[in-house]
Amino acid sequence: MADQIQSLQEQVLQARKNGQTLNIVGGGTKSFMGRKTDTDSATLSLAEHSGVVEYHPVELVLTVRAGTTLSEIEAVLAEEGQCLHFEPPRLGDGATIGGTLACNLSGPARPWAGSVRDQVLGLRLLNGQGEHLRFGGQVMKNVAGYDVSRLQAGAMGTLGVMTEISLKVMPKPATTATLVQEMPLDSAIDYMNRRTGEPKPITGACWLDGKVYLRLAGARSAVEATAEQWEGEVFEGGNGLWQQIQDMQHEFFAGDDPLWRFSVKSSAVMPSLDGPWLVDWAGAQRWYRGPATLSDLEPVAAEAGGQVSLFRGGDRTGEVMHSQPEALKAIQRRIKQSFDPDGLFNPGRLYSWL
């Protein structure tokens, strides 16, 4: 795999000249996300623009081309005993780091390890004028200029074509263990929050099918001691379960029912909505399956201190993301304009008005 930057730049300039909108695609594993938009966009593929640019394990810094697959990255890191701490969901074999950042997807460790956005140190990006720009850097601390790198997280490619991303990587935990016990959901919310407030090596807390699961990870002695102190049975299938949740391969996620994602205050009282729930991130991320409308669920999410989005399925021709107040809409429109004055990139994918 190689550096395709020149070709990508030419495609952007050509599209600009022709007034052709572009749909930016990495591995295409997240095409179900965002709004359904008009299909007359041309595809701008990043899949070939892949490979590790620099990796310094001792510095905990990895720089890769945006089209690099998560599996390639994880294989390279594993050789040095390191990992992507935010546990990126692999929604398919071709899932890339660029797509992961554009959608701001992080796995079960997110409340403790941070999100993909948190681990971004810098990136390169083609803006709508075809300029190849560099923001942030390859160091842990950098406050020169606005944080344009993290601005890309969740922007779903509406601001430009990310071409290269530098990330903080971390050592793999030496040991993990999972504890399980039966518990009603309301009690589990409180329990997961209280356990997270203790100075113990916890890196996962979810509730599913009447059971609460806590994951411990870190130095062997600390994991073993905490597993002794805390109630719950050691669950041997723990690693498999966390992987299934991370990659959204668990049967909870199967089927065509609309999948709603609530990102709310971790301790918020469970809303009274009928239907199956999977509560992750110690209560801060709550998946809900069921027919509903965004406008019905928004007040529910707001009451819980957060937001809701229609993650998969359902009606995707309307809005799928929690609505924004007018003042923030205006700012985001102007930001979009500043990066992509001709509206080339992923128009309408994030919001109809972007």
Let me know the angle formed at the C-alpha of 125 by 326 and 150, rounded to the nearest 5 degrees.
50
What order of strands is seen across the sheet that includes strand 61-65? 52-56, 61-65, 161-168, 120-126, 132-136
| Contact assessment for residue 316 and residue 35, using Cβ atoms and an 8 Å cutoff | yes
Please state the closest distance from residue 256 (CB atom) to other proteins, in A. 23
Is there binding between residue 222 and other proteins (CB under 8 A)? Answer: yes
Is there binding between residue 318 and other proteins (CB under 8 A)? Answer: no
Q: Which is nearer to other proteins, 34 or 238 (CB)?
A: 34
Let me know the angle formed at the C-alpha of 120 by 108 and 199, rounded to the nearest 5 degrees.
45
Q: Give the strand pairing for 22-25 and 42-45.
A: parallel
Reference 109, options 174, 176, 204, 246; nearest CA is: 204
Applying the rule CB under 8 A, the residues between 30 and 49 that interact with other proteins are none
Please state the closest distance from residue 335 (CB atom) to other proteins, in A. 5
Instruction: Return the residue of 93, 182, 220, 254 that touches other proteins, per CB under 8 A.
Output: 220
The amino acid present at 88, given as its one-letter code, is P
Is there binding between residue 281 and other proteins (CB under 8 A)? Answer: yes
Cα(83)–Cα(350) distance, integer angstroms: 29
Q: Which is nearer to other proteins, 42 or 133 (CB)?
A: 133
Is there binding between residue 337 and other proteins (CB under 8 A)? Answer: yes
Reference 104, options 71, 42, 152; nearest CA is: 152
Binding mask 141-180 for other proteins (x = CB under 8 A): xxxxxxxx-xxxxxx--xx----------xxx-x------
Is there binding between residue 117 and other proteins (CB under 8 A)? Answer: yes
Is there binding between residue 351 and other proteins (CB under 8 A)? Answer: yes
Is there binding between residue 296 and other proteins (CB under 8 A)? Answer: no
Is there binding between residue 231 and other proteins (CB under 8 A)? Answer: no
Applying the rule CB under 8 A, the residues between 52 and 111 that interact with other proteins are 56-61, 81, 104, 106, 110-111
DSSP reduced 3-state for 352: coil
